[in-house]
Each structure stands twice: as C-alpha cells, then as structure tokens.
Structure 1
Amino acid sequence: MSQPLWTMPTGATHQPQLKVYNSLTRSKVPFVPIQPGHISWYACGPTVYDDSHLGHARNYVTTDIIRRILRDYFGFKIRFVMNTTDIDDKIILRARQRHLYDEYKKNHRYIDDQVRQDAQQAWHYYIQKNLKRIASKDLITPETFDGVIEHTYGDVLAGGSLEPGTKPGDKEAKIKMHINTARNAAKALMQDPKLLTPHEFYNRVNDIMCLVLDEQFGSTIRGDDYAVFTKLTKEYEARFFQDMHDLNVIDPDDLVRVTEHGKEIAEFVKKIVDNKMGYRTSDGSVYFDIKAFEAAGYPYARLEPWNRNDKELQADGEGALSQKDATAKRSDADFALWKASKPGEPSWDSEWGPGRPGWHIECSAMASGKLGQQMDIHSGGIDLAFPHHDNELAQSEAFWANHGQWVNYFLHMGHLSIQGSKMSKSLKNFTTIREALHVRKDWTARSLRIVFLLGNWKDGIEITDDMVTEGRNWEDRVDNFFLNAIEAIKNTKSSDERPAGLEDAVQEAAEKVRTALLDSFNTPIAMNTISQLINTYNSAKKSELTAADHRRVGLFVTRLVNIFGLNGSEPADTEQVGWKGIEIPDAAKEFVYPLAKMRDELRQAAIAKSITAEKVQEIVTTSPTSLEEPASSGRPRPSYARALSEFSRAALQATSSPAAMESSPDLNKQILALCDRVRDIDLWQLDIYLEDRENAPALVRPVTEGLKAARREKEDKARQKEEARKQREREAQEKLQKAKLDPREMFKPPHQTEYSAWDDDGVPTTARNGTPLTASRVKKLRKEWEAQRKAHEKYLATLPTPVPNGLDSPSATR
C-alpha cells in the first residue's frame, strides 16, 4: 500500500504531470529533464560591488523556493551552479572610484579650504553632467539649490514625467536620485566645518567626488593591478553569502567566478570566431555577429524578440565602459564577446591583445564548462531576459554549433518594485537585506519568504501595506496553529481512532497542494490550502480529536513549511510538529512557566471572587520565587527571574494593605490588575506573552510580529476612540457656549456688526449702511434666530431652579 499524501513529500522523480512556465515558449510546458530524476541548473548570481537589496532577495529566495520544491517535494537530484560576476563595467567603475577616493582621503585627512574647493567644483560638475535642465553652473549655489531644483524639476518631484504624455519610470527615479545626491552634498558644503567630522563630510560628498576623481585619474590604474578590483569584490561576495544564509537560501553546489576563468572564456570566444559567428575589430575587441548567426539557421532574441532593437537595453547590456564607436561593429545590435581593455581597466592576455570578457560571455563559458552542451534550467531575474540571457543563448549555441538547444527551460523571477520602479543599485531606491533584517527589522527571513510564496514566482511584486499585512496574518495563523496543535498533542490521550472527517480534510489538502505545485509551482494556492486546512482544524470539536488527529494535521503543515524553507534547515521529512520561534527561550523556561502557573491560579481565584489573603499566600509560597539574578551595577536589566520574583512580591504586598484585609472584592481587583500587568508589560518587554484561554491554562508563547501588530491596532483604536471622545466633548462645549447666548443679542454688537436696526426679538431689519434687508434675507435670519431660541431654552432648562427669596436663610427652614 502506498503512503497517504499527507505523510510525504513523494520522493518520486517521474512527474509526467509537472508543468513549468518556460520563458522560451512563454507558456506552461511539461517538465522533462535530460536525465530522468536529475536536474542540471545554472543560475545567474550577483554582481558583487555593493550590498544586496530586497530586489535581489526576491530573485534568490524565490529561486531557492523552486529548488526546494523540486528537491524535497518532487524528489529530484539537482546540480545547482551559480556564478558571481566579479569583473564587469560596474565593478571596474566602483572599484576604481573607491580606490581613488580612499587615496584622496588618505592625503587629505582634514577638511581644509582646498578640500572644500575640490568638493564645490565636483558638485557643480555633477549637476552639469546629470541634471541637464539646469543650464549653467553659475546660476546655482548650494544655498540656492533647492529653489532652482523646484523651478527646474518641480514637476518630476511632484510625480510627473520628463516627457509629457508618458508615465514616469526609471528615468525619473534616476533624476530624483541625482537631486538627492546633489542636495546631500550641498548641505555638507553649507555646514559649518566645525560641526562636521571629516568622516561625515567625506561620506556626504562621496558620489560627487568619486565621479570627478575617476574621470581625472581612473586611467592611471594599471591593468594588471587586480588587487584594486578584487578588494571590492571579495568583500561584497562574502557579504552576499552572509545575506543569503540569513535568508535561509541554500548554497550552490558549484560557485564559479569570472576572474578564475579568464583563459577558458578566451578559448570559448575563439571557438565562436572559428565558427564564423564572431569577429575582431580594429581596437582588439571581439563582437558576436548576429547576422551570421541567423544566416546559419539560429533564431536570435528568442526570449524577448520585441526588445531586440531596443537601443537602451542594448547599451545597458554592453556597459558604461564599452566601445562608443558604433562604426567598429558590423551591426548596431552586435554585442561584445571580448573587450579590449582601455587604460584603467583590468586586462588579461589573449590572441587579440590585452582584454577582458564581455558581460554575457562569462555565463556561457562557465555554465558550459560545468554542465556541458545542454542544461535543464537556467534562471535569473526577469530583467536579465534581454539582452543578457538572449545573448547567452545565442553565443552558446554558436559555440556548440550543433543546432541543438542549449537551455531547455528558462525560469525568470518577477522583480520587486517600490513606488512603481524596480529596485536597483543604480537608482539607489532600495533597502539592503541586512538593513531590513538587522537594522530596521522590518522583515525576518520567514516573513519575507512568506510574502514571496503568496505571490506567483514569475510575477512582479509591489511592496504595499496590504501585502505586508497579508503575509503577517498568514504567519500569525500558522504560529497559533502550531502552538495549539503541540499543546493538544501533549494533553490529549492517545487513541487509534481516526475520524474520517479530519483525515479526509488532510487528504483533500494534500491533493490540492500537489495539483498546485504541479502547476508551475503555484505556491499561492498551496499557501491558501494550508490556511484552509488550519481553519478546518480550528473549527473541529477538539473533544472529538485524538492525539493522532492533532499530529496528522500538524505534521502535514510542518512538512510543507519545511519544504518551502520557512523553518531554517529542518528536513522536509521531519517527525517534529511546529517551526522555530514558537517556544520561549530555554533560559526563560525555569522562571516563566512557574510564573504562568502561579498567575493562572491567582487569576482564576480572583475571577471566581474567592480570593483571600490566605489563598494568595498559599499559592505564592508554594512557588519557586527565590530565583534571582545576581545584583549588577548600573541600571538593572529586565530578566525572567526578576519578573517572577517581583510578581510574587507584589501579590503578597496586596494582601497586606488595609483595603485587602477589610474587603475581598478590592483584593480580587488588585490581583487581576497584577495579572494583567505581568502579561501586558513585564513579560511583554521580555518578548513573552501569556495568552489567556477559557477553561485552560494561559498559553506561554513568544511575542511575534502578529501579536505586536494586533497590539498596535488595539492601541490605535483606543487612541482613536479617546480622540473621538475628546472631540465630542469639545463640540458639546462649543455648543453649550453658543447656547448661552440670548437670541435677542445674537445679531447685535459685539457678536455681529453687519446690521443697524432690529425688531423687538432682535432679528435684523436694516443693514449697517441703512439699507433695508430684503424679505428673503429677513426670513433666513429669523430661521437662524429660531434655532438659537430653542437651543437657549434647552440651556436654561439645565440650570438649577432659583431659590425663592428668604428660603436661603437658616431661619427660613425652621
């Protein structure tokens, strides 16, 4: 008999129903690996010149999710190869600029007049180069910058586009970035030099100074001075993998670096030239010949044919340091395989002279070297489809020259966007992974992965409040489920009985999940199925469930979250219900559990209004209250032991007050207040929460983001309610003050000065200039007068009845 679906990932590798969305066909197609049960996979890795941001997390975490599903759910054996790009135009520029700026700072340790003059000139040059609407540098100073920007770029800052009739996008985001860069530098230039440290000054003018220093001195760096470039890339490669570990992303099986494969890349290029699909130019560069490639029967730009003539994308793919002379190429669309190195660029020997690899060729050469002439999967962000992956595909098939298909399935992850623009290092509109996880703590590895799982892997994601809330609610629902399921497994008697209803629900969920994952890894449906199963479990009568029932549902959910990478490195075939983070720290258990037990007993007695001083003393004195942390100097830190001892002490002190000795109801109230305080303040500050339950002990659990959000929402509602109460009071007071006014005086000075004559009731009849008021005007004023009369009479009715003359004297009442 086969295992029921709820007990597995299947472990089977023959998956004829599995379909994946393939960018090559732009459709879902059956997934048939080259070797049954095995998958060869190449993933484009990072360009290591800066910290990775949440947009990168979207790519690598989502890739990790698919990799885990294929490995742990469908049972494939995967060889996963990834590269790090440690030499390209962006790296060369960044490394060169950083090196030159470090040298400048070393030679100018103090911010003297010369440094400020250099920075001022660099600031003007930066504006002239990047903010073209500002006609002349002579018209702008750091002091006038904001005003000039508002005049020249106010429309863009307000959300408009550079070109009327078009939607704003990356170009506008880049202008805003340049404005912010120039503004920060302007503030540094205006600041009193005594109020800024050299570090602060240099940090604020970094971008403007780097631009000028590189243009002046970049060409002086020797081509064989590799340390200038590897110093930067080694640092950021290490930081990248630390970020990936923090996000629970599995390491690649093979990691390849461009700088370690220079010879192989040059040989790869030579074969393409030998196959008549590449050519050398006069400067020593080698380009791919698209026309020759297509003439040989190969299609070009198969992934995004609509972009093949997009000059902006082509230029971006060639890099900022590439040959600008279009006449050197046979066709504008031809792209560099090997770039002749110019002064200030790293170089390696080749038969065409000193040079370096083009951006696209590196992946083709290294992937082919590791996986051969054909692979199952090639993946990366959707922004790499053209020109990078299209060019990779073309040059690789030109190299192998067998009319075969180099990659069978291209998987492109949707990007993450913010305010309509893709997150980008060049646009500086991003939050780094380490900042999000460790500084701002907006995200955890789990919460970020949940958000990605709730969206389709190939679709873009826009960060919104609703998206964050949806992910937080899903995590909180699973948190609560695991806590309750584990508690139920501990406290429910074992039985072999297996009610069909719950087993059917688990089996149905397993079928839905399997159908979803077979459908191109449709994780949104799988995540929703988990939620629905939890809802079914929560609504079941717990008295009818056995420990096996609780364990069955708990294991099903646990194994799925493990497969999705939501539980650290825990294996998919675990026998342990739950995920990390639902238990309080080990150091807290010996103090918090006794505190929770003592509090439960005190609270239940107080709710039953049966509390007495003797009862309090009995409960407290039988609990371990003497566990104290050693006294420390300085400000005391909150501790679990202190929470326990202070709660015990406060409960005992409540029994010694006169009110408690005389009145049991007062003691009940005091004890309940203490129970609330230790739950809502003392333990909460230690990231522990006691969840009170009806007819059951309080559930001891960590404070999660969901609980924090619920508390914030409760506090916001209470604050809004209080503000509404105060507003009602203000309005009532204003109404009262208005009602005090006698209607006969309301249209007369000093209340109003528009009129000069009134009737006996005080309704105006004549304007201030002596002109009689029209009948319609008098009618309207009479209506206002009548409303005031009614309000004034209600006010008078609230006043105390006047006492008759003489009754207020002592003798009058005798």
Structure 2
Amino acid sequence: MSSTAETSTKAPVTWTAPVPVVPAPELHVWNSLTRSKVPFVPLRGRRVTWYNCGPTVYDASHMGHARNYVTQDILRRIMRDYLGYDVDFVMNITDIDDKIIVRARQSYLVRQLREKHAELSSELLQTVQDAWKSYFASTLVRFAPPAPPHESETDPVAAAEQRAGEGGWEQVARLAEDPEWRAKASAEAPKFSMWFKALNDSRSAQVAAAVALGAGETSAEQAALLIDASEDVLSAHLDKTLGHTVSDPAVFRDLAAYWEGAFFDDMARLNVERPTTLTRVSEYVPEIVSFIERIVSNGFGYVDEASPNRNVWFDTVAFDGGVCGASKHTYAKLAPWSKGNRELLEEGEGSLSTGASTTRGKRSAADFALWKSAKPGEPAWPSPWGMGRPGWHIECSVMASEVLGEQIDIHSGGVDLMFPHHDNELAQSEAAHQCGQWINYFLHTGHLHIEGLKMSKSLKNFISIDEALSRFSARQLRLAFLMQPWNSRMDFRESAMAEVRAAETSFNNFFANSKALLREAAARGATFSDGKNRYGDAEKELAARLADAQLQFRAAMCDNFDTPKGIDLLLQLVSRTNVYEKATARALVNVSLIEAVAQYVSSMLRMFGLGTGVVREGEIGWGTEAASGGVDTESLLQPYLVALSSFRDSVRRLARSGAPHTELLQLADRLRDIDLVDLGVALEDQEDGQALVKLVPAAELRAAREEKERLQAEKAARKAAAAAAAQQKRREQLERGRVAPADMFRPPHAEGYGTWDEQGIPTHDDKGEALAKKRRKNLEKEYERQTKLHTDYLAARDAGEID
C-alpha cells in the first residue's frame, strides 16, 4: 500500500512536444478568382463541395474534352484518395442548347429527306442543287472573281447569280488548284478547306446523279450516294427552310441522350469516374424558373415586356457595382479583360439567340438571357413569361445551388468557359443568393493544342477520343495529362507521347523486375536466412531516398497538384532502385526494401487513376485483370515456369560448353522471344546464367517485341539505303572514268581545242593560239585525275562490276 502511495506522489514524466523537422505541407491551389495560388480551406471540415461543368451533348467527344475531364478526375482523386478529403462531386449534362437544337433538327430533316427520296429523282437533285448554291453563297462566293464591269453594269442580277452559281464555283475551283492562292484563301478563311471539300464532294455527286438520271437509272444506291456526299450542304439548307416545322420534343431529347451515352462510354474508356451526382438541365426547368424569379425580384433581371418574345435578361449594369450587405457586386470577376467582348458575348448566347430579332429589348449589349421565349422549331417549357427555355448560363447556377447549397467550395471547367459562362454564373448566383462570394475556388484546366495549333476540324488536326484511343492507350493519354501542369496550356505532340511511352516502359519494367524478385524470395520461404546482412549502406541510402521521395511527393501534390513533379519523383525513385538492384549481388538484394518502393510507386500511380482491373492488397503494378473463377494464375503457373526456365538454362549451358549444337541456343531464344512471350512470360538473362522470370501481360511483351522488330527493320532499311546510296555513288564515280584520258579533251567530250600532244592534252585552241601556261597546268591536273578514274573503271569492268 505504501508503494502505491509512493508511486502516486511521484512527479509526472517530463515530456516535450515534438517539433516537426519538416512541417506537413498544406494544400495550395491556383484560384482563377485571385489569379494566384492560395491556401485551400473547405467550408465544412474535410468535406469538399465541387461542381464541374459537364458537356453539351450534341456530337462525339474529342481530345479537348479528354484534357478537361481526365484532368478534373485526376484532381478529384488526389483530393479524395491521397489528401483525404470527402469530395461531393457534381457534374451537369447540358441537354438544352442552341447547338443541340440545330444539330437535332438537321439530323432529323436529313433523315426525313432520305425516307422521302428512297430512289434518285430530279426533285432530289434539284433540292441538292438549291442547297449547294445556298452553301456556296454563304461560304466561298467571296473568293469568286467579280464579273467584268460591262456585264455587271448591263445585268447586275445575272452577274450576281453567275458569281454565286456554277460559274463562280468553277472560277474558285480553278484558283484553288494554285497552292499559293489556296494558302492565302485558307489564311483569310480557316475553314476554306472544309467548305471547299463539302462543295466539291457534293458537286461531283450531282454530276454523277445527273448522268444516272439521263441514263434512266434511279436506284436507291444512287440516291444514297448523292445525299451522303451532300449532307453538309443539305443540313444547313434544310434547317433554314424547314427547321421551324420540327416540333416533336423527342427529336431533341433523343439526340442529347445518344451523345450523352457516347460521352460516358468515352469517359469509362479513359477511366474517368462518374460524378457523385449527375444533373441534366431538362430535369431542372421548374427550379430554373423559380431561380430566375428570385433574380428579377432582387432587381437584377428584367422582362422584355415591350416585345412579343418576352425574353428575360440579366441586368449586368444594375449588378456591376450593386450592393449586397457589406459586399459590392462585381461583374466579370474571372476575366475582367473580356468584359464587353462582343464576339464572346454573342458566342455565349448561342447561334439561335443573336441578331436584332432575338436581342431586341436588351438594355445593354452585355446583358444575357436568363429565359428565351419559344420560337418555332425549338423545345419549350411553361413559365410566367410564356413558353420558352432556359438560357445557357443559368442552368449551372441552379443545378449547383440545388444540390450543393448557396456557397460552394470548388467550381471547375475548361479555361474557355471562364468568360462569359462562368462569369455569368457567378453574377446570377450572387444576385439570386444576395451574397458576395458564391464560389470560393475556381479551377480552370488549360487549353489543349495539337502540334502547336488549336484543335480544329478545318485545320485537320481534330482528334476524337475514339481516334486517340486507337493510337494510344487510356493509360498513356492520362500519363500525358499528368506530365503537364493541369492549369497550363498543353501541346499534344507526337514527341511528347514518345516521352510518355518511355515513362510507361520504365514503370512496366520496374514492376516486372520487382515481382520476379519477390516470387524468388517467396520460393525460399518467409523464414529463409543465410546469415548475411542485407541492410547495409546501400540499403540505408535507398530507404532514405524512398522517405525523401514520399515527402517531396506530398509537397508536390499540395503545391497546386504538381503532377509533373510527382511523376518525375516516382521515375527518379524507380531509377535509383534499379541502380541499387543492378549494383547488388542477386542473392544479397534486400527484397523487402524493393517491395516497399514498388508498393509505394504502384499505389501513387493507381491513385492518379492509372490502374486497371482488380487490385489486391499490397499489389505491385497497375492492377490485375480478374481471372475466371478467382484463380490466382501467377501462383498457379509459377512452378511450371520456373521448371521451364531451368530447362532452358541447362540447354544454354550445354550449348555454351563447346557442344556443336548452336541450334540449341536458337531454340532457347525462340522459347524466350516467341513461345513464352505469347504466354505473358518474360525471361531476362542474368550474369549468373539463371534467367529472371517475369510475368508481364502478353500484349505488353508483344508490343515490346514488335517495337524491337520495327527498330531492327528500320535499322536494316537505313543500312540498305546507305548501301544503295554508296553503290550509286560508286557507279557514278566509275562512270566518270569511262572516258579514256587521251580522249577526254577531244570531241565529242570537249570542244574548243585544235592541237594536242602525244598524251592527248591540248596545246592550242581551235583558233591556233597556244594555251596559257596556267590553263595548260590545270588541264594536266584534270588529265591525272581522269587517268586514276579510268584505271578504276577498267578494273571494275574487268571484274564485272560495271558494263
């Protein structure tokens, strides 16, 4: 009892709170609102509310979409899977939009035309000709030379028709044959080549159709050929003349639904996770109407009462400088330099919402539509202002607010959306919520350029996601994005993809080596020891490299998600581990340390979304495709592979011992390079004579083998070309020696000389004048050179080398 009392009265143990040698980094992000890197502070603990602008679904997704959505997926994964935030990620689908309306109408009307004209007819040909003329008049007629002055003066109408019709086209087509003229035209009109092709293809099809009709041929195949070749010129013409007749809402929804499905299929192939919540504009129209009513009641929106259209506009003048509590509203926070940019403002309103008829009643050119009144040929919903549809910008404000609340941590999207879309979102949301800061952090991904140029169909550098995935794997594309700063412009170049392939190969080789070493260690047993210390200075240095890489990697991720540095750190760590493994005797390699590095590198790469298939705990590599029946194929096959490898080692030793059986070596190499490759087995010969067995996906091994064969073929082709060039050069040299030196200065080989010495060297010209001493000396030198060339020629002729 006394001892217990004694203990209780003793002073507490002295303890000093540790001071970190390296403080934990805090996340800083590039915020477009401040145009600087700022600390990231969520509103609610570790929960992050995040709204990402989704696609307008009217066409196939392209590499610009991939750049944006893969990048946002990477940032989301870093925040959630590495930095430990709870991310509520919301993304919208824009399924009500001018582009969708126009594309849906055009597709529907062309489809109707096909159904109406199942066979070729003069009526169909006339429709195509009218469409062609309209298309030419709106695109390339400007390049047709004007009619001669006397013609334009006598009949200006005929001159105009000539310029806009076949005559004008023939002039443009002739001019386009001149590359220099065509280059100038393309500089003036970047879409020149695209327009020219559409017109030319249709014109050729019209000629063929006219010939077919003349011969009495009216087949369905001929009709289809004409419509297919003329679809571009038909689409615009049919929409202009018949677009107002399209009234079925299903026409617009069906197109949007189709391309929405295609978009998510592409995203799945790129390993982009679906959002926590997906919203569609068409599902939020009542909420949008209520939101607009709040903006109007707060004094920042107005109805165009004087016009029958009854559009509802956002009042940018009232908002800019307006007061909200202690805060003052500011319009165009994100891109104040674009404020008033008429081209961007009109583009933001959409192709169906510009022009005097649709913008009449606006108080300011910068005001934008909150609600668009219905026009024939457009989908419409009820509202207090009559039938109509939402403006483009209002949709995101409403859906983000409905799902995430009146203040949101992060809003993201492509930098091309900064103005006017995101600036208009901010304005109308702060006007509705009467707040000074609706979004705390705006994250904008950089533009994507192709080989230095902005991606464009007219520049023929437009790459769809489907096309990109036919050339590169999803992992390679994601790696390409990871190796560039997420918020900077990215130039997608073939040379950059070569760097990506090299990085992927480095990781692949490292994983294969690491797994091979681990399998060998497992075969020795968990308790194996030969009494040798496997943690010396080399191991301590590698362990320190791992710890330092982990610290630097976290700092990089917290420094505005610096993924290029992160990938570089992982590659450096892999390289340093390879150096350690190569410099250490195989039996003394510290496999546990190799495993620690490999697991860390693997987990970081998978965190970036580079993994595939099923990932088991402690898995090394990208992941493993699920095997049928849940069988671990690696464990199942390993004993057989080791036995097969041992057999090959023995065969190689036998052949190298002096036995005259070199065929055995060839057989062993065939086993390594062909048979086992197709089984997904790589054998790497080691200095100790025992191959290192690796299990690698057969596709990777075949690709490596094909690449090796390609390089060998290229090398052989270069060698053959060099040999052919050398042979040609040799023949040319020998041909120069065909003329005997005694004849080289005589006709027909030379003119202007009249007298020669016994060797055949000229002494006088053809006028009888003696040659100057200097000239004679030069001729003697030429004679000596020709003598050597002729000697070589004779020798080659005698040897059959030349005729």
TM-score (norm 1): 0.81
Could you tell me which residue of structure 2 aligns to residue 636 of structure 1? none
- What amino acid is aligned across from residue 112 of structure 1 in structure 2? S
The answer for the alignment partner of 1:733 in structure 2 is 731
CA distance in 1, matches of 2:185, 2:579: 48
**Aligned-partner SS, 1:81:** strand
What are the residue-to-residue correspondences of 1:333-348 with 2, within 5 Å? 333-348=366-381
Q: Deviations over 1:45-67 (max 9, x none)?
A: 01111111111011000000000
Distance in 1 (CA, whole Å) between partners of 2:349 and 2:198 is 26
Which residue identity is paired with 1:720? R
Tell me which residue corresponds to 1:56.
Answer: 65
Q: Residue 149 of structure 1: which of 176, 195, 201 is its match?
A: 176
Equivalence for 1:37: 46
- In the other structure, the counterpart of 2:263 is 240
What's the CA shift string for 1:523-548, capped at 9, x where partnerless? 00000001100110110034342221
Structure-1 separation of matches of 2:637 and 2:451: 47
Does residue 696 (structure 1) correspond to residue 719 (structure 2)? The answer is no
Pick one of 537, 542, 552 that aligns with 1:502: 542
Point out the more displaced range, 357-366 or 776-785.
776-785
Deviation at 1:592, TM superposition (A): 11
Spell out the pairing of 1:447-466 with structure 2 (5 A cutoff): 447-466=476-495
Counterpart of 1:316 in structure 2 is 347
Partner SS, residue 373 of structure 1: coil
Does 2:195 correspond to 1:178? Answer: yes
Aligned position for 2:285: 262
Name the structure 1 match of 2:314.
288
1:408 & 1:350 partners in 2: Cα distance? 32
- Corresponding residue for residue 555 of structure 2: 515
User: CA offset at residue 570 of structure 1?
Assistant: 5.6
Pair 1:556-2:582 in alignment: no
Measure how far apart 1:794 and its partner are: 5.1
SS of corresponding position for 1:560: helix
Amino acid at match of 1:247: L
Residue in structure 1 matching 2:333, options 292, 299, 302? 302
Displacement of 1:777 in angstroms is 5.3
Say whether 1:379 aligns with 2:412. yes
Name the aligned partner's letter for residue 164 of structure 2.
Answer: K
Between 452-461 and 186-195, the greater mean CA deviation after superposition: 186-195
Change (3 A) 1:518 1:473: same
Summarize the Cα distance change of 1:188–1:318 in structure 2 as closer, same or farther, 3 Å threshold. same
Q: Which amino acid aligns with 1:303?
A: L
Give, in angstroms, the shift of residue 219 of structure 1.
0.7
Residue number in structure 2 paired with 1:231: 254
Q: State how far apart, in whole Å, the 2-side matches of 1:518 and 1:401 are.
A: 33
Residue 393 of structure 1 pairs with residue 439 of structure 2 = no
For 1:234, give the aligned amino acid.
A
Deviations along 1:606-665, one digit per CA (max 9) or x if unpaired, are 5653589xxxxxxxxxxxxxxxxxxxxxxxxxxxxxxxxxxxxxxxxxxxxxxxxxxx63
Question: Residue 796 and residue 209 in structure 1: after superposition, are their counterparts in 2 closer, same or farther (change >3 A)?
Answer: closer
Q: Secondary structure at the match of 2:279?
A: strand
Deviation at 1:204, TM superposition (A): 2.7
Give the secondary-structure state (helix, strand or coil) at the position aligned to 1:696. coil
Q: Hey, what's the Cα distance between the residues in 2 that align with 1:114 and 1:190?
A: 15
Matched, 1:417 2:446: no
Distance 2:294 2:782 in 1: 95
For 1:262, give the aligned amino acid. Answer: V
Matched-pair contact (CA < 8 Å) for 1:65–1:564 = yes
Q: Which residue identity does 2:576 align to in structure 1?
A: T
* Counterpart Cα distance in 1 of 2:614 and 2:482: 18
Question: Which among 196, 205, 208 is matched to residue 233 of structure 2?
Answer: 208
Aligned partners of 1:692 and 1:699 also within 8 Å: no
Q: What's the CA shift string for 1:474-496, capped at 9, x where partnerless?
A: 00000000000000111135579
8 Å contact from structure 1 (residues 555, 575) kept in 2: yes
Q: Which residue identity does 1:416 align to in structure 2? A: L
- Would the aligned equivalents of 1:157 and 1:176 in 2 still touch at CA under 8 Å? no
> Are the counterparts in 1 of residues 176 and 182 from structure 2 also a CA contact under 8 Å?
no
Aligned mates of 1:467, 1:277 — CA distance in 2: 48
- Judged with a 3 Å threshold, the aligned counterparts in structure 2 of structure 1 residues 756 and 86 are, in CA distance, closer, same or farther, namely farther
- Residue 577 of structure 1 pairs with residue 620 of structure 2: yes
Over residues 735-758 of structure 1, what are the superposed CA-to-partner deviations in whole Å (9 max), with x where a residue is unaligned?
Answer: 234335422223334445575654
Larger CA deviation: 688-697 vs 261-270: 688-697
Rounded Cα–Cα distance in structure 1 between residues aligned with 2:548 and 2:371? 56
Shift of 1:429: 4.4
Contact 2:285–2:381 (CA under 8 A) maintained in structure 1:
yes
Residue deviations 1:21-40 (CA, integer Å, cap 9, x gap): 01111110000011110100
2:611 equivalent to 1:567: yes
Which structure 2 segments of 5+ residues have no match? Answer: 1-22, 145-162, 323-327
Distance 1:113 1:594 in 2: 73
- Counterpart CA distance in 1 for 2:206 and 2:499 is 45
Deviations 1:153-172 (A, max 9, x none): 8556379732xxxxxxxx62
Matching of residue 353 in structure 1 with residue 353 in structure 2: no
Aligned residues of 1:476 and 1:706 also touching (Cα < 8 A): no
- Say if 1:86 and 1:258, in contact at 8 Å, map to a contact too: yes
Secondary structure (helix, strand or coil) at the match of 2:409 reads strand
- Is the contact made by 2:104 and 2:255 (CA closer than 8 Å) also made in structure 1? yes
How many angstroms apart in 1 are the aligned matches of 2:690 and 2:181? 62
CA drift at 1:352: 1.2
* Amino acid in the other structure paired with 1:609: A
Aligned residues of 2:451 and 2:493 also touching (Cα < 8 A): no
How far did 1:596 drift? Answer: 8.9
1:388 and 1:35 map into 2 onto residues whose CA distance is 27
Decide whether aligned partners of structure 1 residues 426 and 316 sit closer, same or farther in structure 2, where only a CA change above 3 A counts: farther
Cα distance in 2 for partners of 1:78, 1:575 equals 25
SS in 1 for 2:165: helix
1:180 aligned partner, one-letter code? K
Distance (Å, rounded) in 1 between the aligned partners of 2:505 and 2:185: 36
Q: 1:574 to 1:584 in 2, by over 3 A?
A: closer
SS in 2 for 1:316: helix
**Quick check: 745-754 or 59-68, which moved more?**
745-754
Does the 8 Å contact 1:143/1:190 carry over to 2? no
Could you tell me which amino acid in structure 2 is paired with residue 348 of structure 1?
Answer: W
- What is aligned with 2:395? 362
Question: What's the offset of the Cα at 1:107?
Answer: 0.7
Counterpart of 1:430 in structure 2 is: 462
Contact 1:143 1:186 in 2 (8 A): no
Q: Distance in 2 between matches of 1:382 and 1:515?
A: 25
- Determine if contact 1:279/1:286 at 8 Å carries over to the other structure: yes
Question: Are the structure 2 counterparts of residues 48 and 797 from structure 1 closer, same or farther at C-alpha, using a change threshold of 3 Å?
Answer: closer
CA distance, structure 1, for counterparts of residue 186 and residue 139 of structure 2: 18
Write the distance in 2 (CA, Å) between the matches of 1:732 and 1:108.
67
Identity of aligned residues (%): 40
Deviation at 1:213, TM superposition (A): 0.5
Give distance in 2, aligned partners of 1:679 and 1:750. 66
Q: Does 1:102 align with 2:127?
A: no
Give secondary structure in 2 for the equivalent of 1:34: coil
Q: 1:59 to 1:735 in 2, by over 3 A?
A: same
Moved more, 414-423 or 297-306: 414-423
The CA deviation at 1:308 is 1.2
Once residues 706 and 385 of structure 1 are traced to their aligned partners in structure 2, the CA distance between those partners, rounded to angstroms, is 43
Whole-angstrom CA distance in 2 between matches of 1:69 and 1:777: 82
Answer yes or no: is the 8 Å Cα contact 2:756–2:762 preserved in 1: yes
Change (3 A) 1:218 1:229: same
**Structure 2 residue identity aligned to 1:36:** G
Q: Gaps spanning 5+ residues in structure 1: where?
A: 1-13, 163-170, 613-663, 802-814
2:340 counterpart SS class: coil
Could you say which residue in structure 2 is the equivalent of 1:618? Answer: none
> Does residue 60 of structure 2 align to residue 67 of structure 1?
no
Shift of 1:85: 0.3
Does residue 138 of structure 1 match 2:165?
yes
Q: Greater CA deviation, 314-323 or 671-680?
A: 671-680
Query: Contact (CA 8 Å) 1:688, 1:703: kept in 2 or not?
Result: no
CA 1:756–1:58: 2 relative to 1, 3 Å = farther
Equivalence for 1:481: 510
